[in-house]
Structure 1
Amino acid sequence: MTRSESVRTTALNRIRQRGALGEADGAVPAGVKVFDDGIPAVANLDPALLGALRQAATDAAADGVEFFVNSGWRSPEYQHQIRRKAVSKYGSEEEAARWVATAETSAHVLGDAVDIGSSDATAWLSEHGARYGLCQIYRNEPWHYELRPEAIEHGCPPMYPDPTHDPRMWR
């Protein structure tokens, strides 16, 4: 059995044993901000990403804009559950892949991605995010941001149309 098959089998067994997944797996209750360290989806983000988000949120607040976290770090089990729901919603693995990565390829599972809520916050990040190294990665997901430190000096790289065009998803 390969490592990814082993991870998948372990994840499926934990899902079956525990039933519904919750906050400990990365589910985010309403109203969570980037400063809410008691929420695993925030606390388990990469420290550099979290630091950039907090600096951006502090500066955005001066403009009257609040950052809410709709999603951050996710356990592999939770990512798998989200992917299954996407397949059901979109009708196929191929179409679901445009919106939700597998647990093996998701930047959320690594703590390297955050989904920011409110159109004011995503508009603010679209305009100012590169200053902090925060870049929108996918054109079809204006809420999804990842840290690209080189963006501070060079601007954000071109966006992929959706995750299916991202070479990281081809593993």
Structure 2
Amino acid sequence: MYPSRPSARPKTRRTVRLLALGLMIFLAAVAAAFGHRSRDGASPPPEALWSSSPASPSPSPTSEAPPSKTPPKRRAELGVADGVVPYGVTVFDDTVPAVTNLDPDLLAALRRAATDAAHEGIEFYVNSGWRSAKYQDSLFRRAVSEYGSEAAATRWVATAETSLHVAGEAADIGHSDATSWLSGHGARYGLCQIYRNEPWHYELRPDAVQRGCPRMYADPAHDPRMRR
């Protein structure tokens, strides 16, 4: 008899095992490479790709009304020449129309008071002073939109026809330390707070030097001058 041939089955099993092991090693290598790329070079989540407009700088307070999220219409058309006040302007600024267009007697009184307050480390900033009729009209329309009616708006903002700012006879003073100082000392300079709801709004009342400031109105809507 011829010697018997060794069975081929064990060899086949060995080949299958080797192929399976090689496949597992290959898959492990692919998974590791993919994981490394995901950690180091993956694309950001979709929300990270959304671009947003840079936040607008906070404007300096320039109106009688409380701060609002509603931008005034045609704001881009208004500028310093209309009475818009750059941040940090004081009553001594001689280049900004909001200051230089104030009534000369009012401005002189503010500067006298500011000079004395400076000895106590207090500086008078002008948040708003003289305004053009266009600027005042823009503020009034903004207030109407914000408060829902002209009647409600007049508690904070006058019309261009009645505004003491347009006439150059009122100034909104900041910061709070300055208005606090004026509340206690303003009368001796003839400077008076006119509206209870606007501690920043000051007008000149020369008689206040001798008699003290007159009783305040609750708000501009109660001021007879606003009904012209």
TM-score, structure 2 normalization = 0.67
State the AA in 1 paired with 2:136. Q
Ranges in structure 2 where 5+ consecutive residues have no aligned partner: 1-72
Q: Which has the higher contact order (CA 8 A, sep 6+)?
A: 1
State the AA in 2 paired with 1:39. V
Q: How much does 1:19 deviate?
A: 5.7
Partner residue in 1 for 2:102: 45
Partner residue in 2 for 1:87: 144
Percent of pairs identical after alignment?
72
1-structure distance, mates of 2:124, 2:147? 29
> In structure 2, which of residues 134, 146, 149 is the aligned counterpart of residue 77 of structure 1?
134
Does 2:112 align with 1:55?
Answer: yes
Does 2:172 align with 1:115?
Answer: yes
1-structure distance, mates of 2:127, 2:145? 21
Q: How much does 1:90 deviate?
A: 1.4
TM-score, structure 1 normalization = 0.89
Partner residue in 1 for 2:155: 98
Q: How many residues align?
A: 156
Task: Please show how residues 1-171 of structure 1 align to structure 2 within 5 Å.
Answer: 20-171=77-228
Q: CA RMSD in A?
A: 1.4
SS in 2 for 1:146: strand
State the AA in 1 paired with 2:103. D
Measured against aligned partners, the alpha-carbon deviations of 1:93-139 in whole angstroms (never above 9, x if no partner) come to 11110000000000000000000011100000000000000000000
2-structure distance, mates of 1:19, 1:135? 33
State the AA in 2 paired with 1:145. Y
State the AA in 1 paired with 2:110. L
2-structure distance, mates of 1:153, 1:96? 35
Q: How much does 1:140 deviate?
A: 0.2
Runs of 4+ in 1 over 3 A off after TM superposition: none
SS in 2 for 1:110: coil
State the AA in 2 paired with 1:101. A
State the AA in 2 paired with 1:102. T
Partner residue in 2 for 1:12: none
Q: How much does 1:91 deviate?
A: 1.6
1-structure distance, mates of 2:183, 2:200? 9
Q: Which has the larger radius of gyration?
A: 2
1-structure distance, mates of 2:197, 2:76? 31
State the AA in 2 paired with 1:103. A
State the AA in 1 paired with 2:170. A
